[in-house]
Amino acid sequence: MDKQREIPEQSPEMREVIEAITKALIKSGQEARKLAEMTGTPLVVSNNNTLQQPSPVQTQQG
């Protein structure tokens, strides 16, 4: 027997919050990309499509 889970509909307030967060994340990603291009810093796009700066590999121990 297959039972489908019912997902409750989001309230208008929750949709507004999700929309505001989504817009902020997109804007910050755009700003990060612009800053990286201006400074020549390489960006790495990971498998989950998020922007990350490559971490430096420390080969010297002292």
In the structure, what pLDDT confidence band is assigned to residue 10 with cuts at 50, 70 and 90?
Answer: confident
pLDDT at residue 38 tops 70: yes
Chain centroid offset of residue 29 CA: 7
Q: What is the mean pLDDT of residues 39-58?
A: 62
The answer to whether 21 and 29 are in contact (CB under 8 A) is no
Residue with tokens 């990971």: 46
Q: Where are the alpha helices (DSSP H) in the chain?
A: 12-39
Tell me the sheet residues that pair with 51. 45
Q: Name 10's Cβ contacts closer than 8 Å, sequence gap at least 6.
A: 18
> What pLDDT was estimated at residue 45?
62
Position 16, amino acid:
E
